[in-house]
Amino acid sequence: MNCSLGTCESLVDWVCRRVNQTGTVSESVNESLDQEVDVELLQRMARGDKEAFAAFYDRYAALLFSIIFRILNDQKESEDVLQEASLLIWEKATVYTPSIGKPSSWAVTIARNKAIDRIRFLQRQNRLVEKAATEGEGNEPVRSVRDSVYGREKAELIRVAITDLPTDQRQAIEMAFFKGLTQYEISETLREPLGTVKARIRRGMLKLRASLEGLL
Protein backbone atom coordinates (compact mmCIF):
# COMPACT_ATOMS: atom_id res chain seq x y z
CA MET A 1 0.00 0.00 0.00
CA ASN A 2 1.52 3.31 -1.09
CA CYS A 3 0.72 6.01 1.40
CA SER A 4 1.27 8.94 -0.91
CA LEU A 5 -1.37 11.08 0.69
CA GLY A 6 0.78 14.07 1.26
CA THR A 7 2.81 14.75 4.28
CA CYS A 8 1.88 11.53 6.11
CA GLU A 9 0.87 13.11 9.38
CA SER A 10 0.91 10.92 12.43
CA LEU A 11 -2.73 9.91 12.17
CA VAL A 12 -2.39 9.08 8.50
CA ASP A 13 0.77 7.15 9.28
CA TRP A 14 -1.18 5.21 11.79
CA VAL A 15 -3.91 4.62 9.23
CA CYS A 16 -1.34 3.50 6.69
CA ARG A 17 0.09 1.01 9.13
CA ARG A 18 -3.38 -0.35 9.81
CA VAL A 19 -4.08 -0.53 6.10
CA ASN A 20 -0.95 -2.55 5.57
CA GLN A 21 -2.14 -4.90 8.26
CA THR A 22 -5.78 -5.24 7.27
CA GLY A 23 -5.76 -4.44 3.55
CA THR A 24 -8.60 -1.92 3.22
CA VAL A 25 -8.75 1.74 3.96
CA SER A 26 -12.33 1.87 5.09
CA GLU A 27 -11.91 -0.97 7.54
CA SER A 28 -8.85 0.63 8.98
CA VAL A 29 -10.59 3.94 9.34
CA ASN A 30 -13.52 2.21 10.96
CA GLU A 31 -11.21 0.63 13.43
CA SER A 32 -9.27 3.81 13.97
CA LEU A 33 -12.45 5.49 15.06
CA ASP A 34 -13.68 2.54 16.99
CA GLN A 35 -15.53 3.98 19.89
CA GLU A 36 -14.64 1.06 22.10
CA VAL A 37 -10.96 1.72 21.58
CA ASP A 38 -11.41 5.34 22.54
CA VAL A 39 -13.46 4.42 25.58
CA GLU A 40 -10.78 2.03 26.70
CA LEU A 41 -8.12 4.69 26.26
CA LEU A 42 -10.09 7.10 28.39
CA GLN A 43 -10.61 4.48 31.06
CA ARG A 44 -6.88 3.83 31.13
CA MET A 45 -6.24 7.55 31.30
CA ALA A 46 -8.59 7.73 34.27
CA ARG A 47 -6.27 5.27 36.01
CA GLY A 48 -3.30 7.48 35.26
CA ASP A 49 -2.03 5.69 32.17
CA LYS A 50 0.03 8.28 30.34
CA GLU A 51 0.66 6.03 27.39
CA ALA A 52 -3.07 5.84 26.86
CA PHE A 53 -3.16 9.63 26.83
CA ALA A 54 -0.36 9.72 24.29
CA ALA A 55 -2.32 7.35 22.04
CA PHE A 56 -5.50 9.40 22.47
CA TYR A 57 -3.59 12.57 21.67
CA ASP A 58 -2.17 11.00 18.50
CA ARG A 59 -5.66 10.07 17.35
CA TYR A 60 -7.33 13.39 17.98
CA ALA A 61 -4.73 16.15 18.12
CA ALA A 62 -5.15 17.05 14.45
CA LEU A 63 -8.93 17.16 14.70
CA LEU A 64 -8.92 19.23 17.86
CA PHE A 65 -6.18 21.58 16.73
CA SER A 66 -7.89 22.16 13.42
CA ILE A 67 -11.16 23.06 15.11
CA ILE A 68 -9.40 25.31 17.60
CA PHE A 69 -7.49 27.04 14.81
CA ARG A 70 -10.67 27.45 12.80
CA ILE A 71 -12.12 29.34 15.75
CA LEU A 72 -9.08 31.39 16.78
CA ASN A 73 -7.17 31.72 13.50
CA ASP A 74 -3.98 32.24 15.49
CA GLN A 75 -1.19 29.67 15.71
CA LYS A 76 0.15 30.57 19.14
CA GLU A 77 -3.25 30.96 20.75
CA SER A 78 -4.39 27.69 19.19
CA GLU A 79 -1.35 25.87 20.58
CA ASP A 80 -2.08 27.23 24.05
CA VAL A 81 -5.70 26.20 23.84
CA LEU A 82 -4.87 22.72 22.57
CA GLN A 83 -2.58 22.33 25.52
CA GLU A 84 -5.29 23.47 27.93
CA ALA A 85 -7.87 21.23 26.29
CA SER A 86 -5.54 18.24 26.38
CA LEU A 87 -4.82 18.71 30.06
CA LEU A 88 -8.53 19.04 30.72
CA ILE A 89 -9.23 15.84 28.79
CA TRP A 90 -6.58 14.11 30.89
CA GLU A 91 -8.08 15.48 34.08
CA LYS A 92 -11.70 14.80 33.13
CA ALA A 93 -11.08 11.27 31.87
CA THR A 94 -12.02 10.15 35.36
CA VAL A 95 -15.57 11.43 34.93
CA TYR A 96 -16.10 10.36 31.33
CA THR A 97 -18.69 7.64 30.72
CA PRO A 98 -20.05 6.45 27.36
CA SER A 99 -23.48 7.69 28.44
CA ILE A 100 -22.39 11.29 27.91
CA GLY A 101 -21.43 10.68 24.29
CA LYS A 102 -18.74 9.37 22.04
CA PRO A 103 -15.17 10.09 23.13
CA SER A 104 -14.61 12.02 19.90
CA SER A 105 -17.64 14.24 20.49
CA TRP A 106 -16.66 14.70 24.12
CA ALA A 107 -13.14 15.75 23.21
CA VAL A 108 -14.35 18.03 20.42
CA THR A 109 -16.76 19.74 22.84
CA ILE A 110 -13.99 20.33 25.38
CA ALA A 111 -11.66 21.76 22.74
CA ARG A 112 -14.35 23.90 21.19
CA ASN A 113 -15.46 25.33 24.52
CA LYS A 114 -11.88 26.14 25.47
CA ALA A 115 -11.42 27.91 22.16
CA ILE A 116 -14.59 29.92 22.63
CA ASP A 117 -13.50 30.88 26.15
CA ARG A 118 -10.21 32.05 24.71
CA ILE A 119 -11.85 34.01 21.93
CA ARG A 120 -14.02 35.82 24.44
CA PHE A 121 -10.99 36.51 26.62
CA LEU A 122 -9.08 37.87 23.66
CA GLN A 123 -12.00 39.98 22.58
CA ARG A 124 -12.04 41.54 25.98
CA GLN A 125 -8.32 42.10 25.67
CA ASN A 126 -8.79 43.55 22.16
CA ARG A 127 -6.06 41.39 20.85
CA LEU A 128 -8.05 39.16 18.57
CA VAL A 129 -7.41 39.46 14.87
CA GLU A 130 -10.81 39.46 13.24
CA LYS A 131 -9.83 37.30 10.34
CA ALA A 132 -12.05 34.32 10.45
CA ALA A 133 -10.95 31.52 8.21
CA THR A 134 -13.98 30.77 6.14
CA GLU A 135 -14.76 27.73 4.17
CA GLY A 136 -16.75 28.92 1.22
CA GLU A 137 -18.98 26.92 -1.01
CA GLY A 138 -17.07 25.49 -3.93
CA ASN A 139 -13.79 26.52 -2.34
CA GLU A 140 -12.99 23.38 -0.44
CA PRO A 141 -9.46 23.11 0.86
CA VAL A 142 -7.20 20.44 -0.62
CA ARG A 143 -7.35 18.56 2.62
CA SER A 144 -9.62 18.72 5.59
CA VAL A 145 -9.64 16.97 8.89
CA ARG A 146 -12.56 15.03 7.60
CA ASP A 147 -10.44 13.48 4.93
CA SER A 148 -7.80 12.31 7.34
CA VAL A 149 -10.09 11.25 10.11
CA TYR A 150 -12.77 9.46 8.12
CA GLY A 151 -10.93 8.40 5.05
CA ARG A 152 -11.68 9.45 1.45
CA GLU A 153 -14.71 7.28 0.94
CA LYS A 154 -16.69 8.39 3.94
CA ALA A 155 -15.33 11.91 3.75
CA GLU A 156 -17.00 12.33 0.39
CA LEU A 157 -20.33 11.18 1.80
CA ILE A 158 -19.95 13.60 4.66
CA ARG A 159 -19.04 16.41 2.28
CA VAL A 160 -22.23 15.83 0.33
CA ALA A 161 -24.30 15.76 3.50
CA ILE A 162 -22.86 19.08 4.62
CA THR A 163 -23.21 20.61 1.16
CA ASP A 164 -26.84 19.57 1.09
CA LEU A 165 -27.43 21.50 4.28
CA PRO A 166 -29.27 24.74 3.42
CA THR A 167 -26.96 27.72 3.64
CA ASP A 168 -28.98 29.53 6.30
CA GLN A 169 -29.03 26.47 8.53
CA ARG A 170 -25.33 25.83 8.16
CA GLN A 171 -24.56 29.48 8.72
CA ALA A 172 -26.52 29.58 11.98
CA ILE A 173 -24.89 26.41 13.26
CA GLU A 174 -21.40 27.57 12.35
CA MET A 175 -21.94 30.96 13.92
CA ALA A 176 -22.83 29.20 17.15
CA PHE A 177 -20.17 26.51 17.03
CA PHE A 178 -17.18 28.33 15.57
CA LYS A 179 -17.84 31.86 16.77
CA GLY A 180 -19.44 31.08 20.11
CA LEU A 181 -22.45 33.26 19.45
CA THR A 182 -25.58 32.60 21.45
CA GLN A 183 -28.93 32.26 19.73
CA TYR A 184 -29.70 35.85 20.73
CA GLU A 185 -26.44 37.16 19.29
CA ILE A 186 -27.02 35.25 16.06
CA SER A 187 -30.51 36.69 15.84
CA GLU A 188 -29.13 40.17 16.34
CA THR A 189 -26.25 39.70 13.89
CA LEU A 190 -28.41 38.28 11.13
CA ARG A 191 -31.31 40.56 12.01
CA GLU A 192 -33.58 37.59 12.02
CA PRO A 193 -36.25 36.75 14.59
CA LEU A 194 -35.08 34.53 17.42
CA GLY A 195 -37.61 31.89 16.49
CA THR A 196 -36.19 31.75 12.97
CA VAL A 197 -32.66 31.24 14.28
CA LYS A 198 -33.78 28.48 16.64
CA ALA A 199 -35.68 26.75 13.86
CA ARG A 200 -32.67 26.91 11.51
CA ILE A 201 -30.34 25.41 14.07
CA ARG A 202 -32.83 22.71 14.97
CA ARG A 203 -33.61 21.78 11.37
CA GLY A 204 -29.97 21.93 10.38
CA MET A 205 -28.84 19.66 13.20
CA LEU A 206 -31.61 17.15 12.55
CA LYS A 207 -30.91 17.14 8.81
CA LEU A 208 -27.24 16.62 9.41
CA ARG A 209 -27.94 13.77 11.77
CA ALA A 210 -30.33 12.17 9.31
CA SER A 211 -27.85 12.51 6.44
CA LEU A 212 -25.04 11.00 8.44
CA GLU A 213 -27.05 8.35 10.20
CA GLY A 214 -25.29 5.49 8.53
CA LEU A 215 -21.91 6.95 9.23
CA LEU A 216 -22.25 7.94 12.87
Partner 1 sequence: MSQERKEELASLYVAGAMTSAEAQAFEREMLQDAELRALVTSLQAAMTVLAAGVPLKQPPAGLKSEIMAKIAECEKVVPVSFTAVDERPRSRWLLWALAACFAVLVVYQQNMGFQTQTADMEAQLAEARSEQQRFQSLTGILSAKLADQEKLLRSMSATNQLLAMELTQIKESDRLANLRIALLNSLLADSPKAVAVSVWDNQKQTGVFHVENLKPLPAGKDYQLWVIDPQYKTPVDAGVFQVDEKGNVRFEFKPRQTIAAANTFAVTEEPKGGRPTPTLDRMVLAGNAKEL
Among 26, 171, 183, 196, binds partner 1 (CB under 8 A): 183
Nearest to 176 by CA among 52, 35, 59, 71: 71
Q: Does 63 bind partner 1 (CB under 8 A)?
A: yes
**Beta carbon nearer to partner 1, 23 or 96:** 96
Considering only residues 25 to 44 of the shown chain, the ones binding partner 1 according to CB under 8 A are none
Among 21, 83, 123, 167, binds partner 1 (CB under 8 A): 83
Cα–Cα distances (Å) from 215 to 158, 169, 209, in that order, read: 8, 21, 9
Q: Does 56 bind partner 1 (CB under 8 A)?
A: no
Nearest to 64 by CA among 50, 85, 95: 85
Least distance in angstroms from the C-beta of 118 to partner 1: 14
Least distance in angstroms from the C-beta of 197 to partner 1: 8
Radius of gyration of the chain (CA): 18
- C-alpha 2/C-alpha 19 separation (Å) is 10
Least distance in angstroms from the C-beta of 22 to partner 1: 22
